[in-house]
Amino acid sequence: MTINDVKNCFRENNINELICRINPPQLMGGTIDLCGEAPDQWIIRRNERGDEGYEKVFDSEDGACRDYLWCVLSEPTYRNGCKPDDLIDYQEKVIPVLRKYGLPPIDYGSAHISRKK
């Protein structure tokens, strides 16, 4: 999977690209970013307002893109125009979307990026 695949998925799934950003010019609170830091180094950062945030490092574009896409698609509030009714039975609605991109189903006990250690 590549950055272009992620961008296409964003368009297909109405993802808010002001919150879910790829190679942003600067860090910003309240976003989840996918950044190519160096050749063969990719980082996913979730920047929380007033918090250090979360970070995962990958040595392949494919691995980073798959994990990033899984995080974005598993969270309904990352979609443009998300309404409270969209959260009802969301688990059931997202499983076919994840499968379409070859991603595993959601384990809601660990669905978010783990805190950087």
The domain locations on the chain are 3-100
**Distance between CA atoms of residues 15 and 51, nearest Å:** 24
Given pLDDT bands bounded at 50, 70 and 90, which one contains residue 107?
A: low
Instruction: Please give the backbone phi and psi of residue 20, each rounded to the nearest 5 degrees, phi first.
Output: -100, 100
Query: Span 20-27, mean pLDDT?
Result: 90
DSSP state letter for 75: -
At 112 the pLDDT is 46
At 67 the pLDDT is 93
Instruction: Please give the backbone phi and psi of residue 113, each rounded to the nearest 5 degrees, phi first.
Output: -60, 135
Given pLDDT bands bounded at 50, 70 and 90, which one contains residue 80?
A: very high
Mean of all residue pLDDT scores within the chain: 84
Model confidence, pTM? 0.81
